[in-house]
């Protein structure tokens, strides 16, 4: 899901775990829609099944209503190798955990977060601002 599609997130989904996928490290934040707040969590430093075991622990701990995955694109919107990896990761999360997974276009998200002086993890913050 891209930022302009965030309005289609059901109102019943109030808590989220957000992921910034990387081959060796995956950033994590937990967020609450009502408060429009997100808090960074410890980075998952693992690959393959070990990564998903750690993510499963986070899901059990935080019991989110849905998951968010930042998806990188080239500035012109073209996909690249990491785009496909992040999208595959989102599909794996959906299949393994049975939760809704929203894909967020992360182009310029750091720059935009800085310009808005956001104090929370930028991808999830931009997600909130589109409700």
**pLDDT digits 0-9 by tens, 45-97:** 998 889 999 999 999 999 999 999 989 888 888 878 889 999 999 999 999 99
The answer to whether 32 and 15 are in contact (CB under 8 A) is: yes
The whole-number pLDDT of residue 8 equals 80
Query: Is residue 113 pLDDT above 80, yes or no?
Result: no
Domains identified in the chain and CATH numbers: 3-128 (3.30.420.140)
Which residues have CB under 8 Å from 86's CB, separation 6+? 21, 69, 70, 71, 72, 103
Q: Which residues pair with 28 in a beta bridge?
A: 19, 41
CA distance 104 to 122: 11
């Amino acid at each position: 899901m891209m930022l302009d599609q965030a309005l289609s997130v059901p109102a019943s989904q109030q808590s989220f775990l957000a992921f910034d996928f990387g081959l060796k490290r995956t950033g994590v934040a937990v967020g609450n829609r009502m408060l429009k707040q997100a808090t960074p969590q410890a980075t998952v430093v693992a690959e393959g099944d070990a990564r998903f075991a750690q993510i499963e622990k986070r899901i059990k701990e935080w019991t989110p209503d849905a998951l968010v995955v930042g998806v990188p694109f080239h500035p012109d919107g073209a996909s690249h190798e990491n785009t496909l990896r992040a999208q595959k990761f989102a599909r794996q999360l959906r299949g393994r955990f049975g939760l809704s997974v929203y894909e967020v276009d992360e182009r310029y998200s750091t720059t935009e977060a800085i310009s808005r002086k956001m104090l929370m993890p930028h991808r999830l913050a931009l997600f909130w601002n589109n409700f």
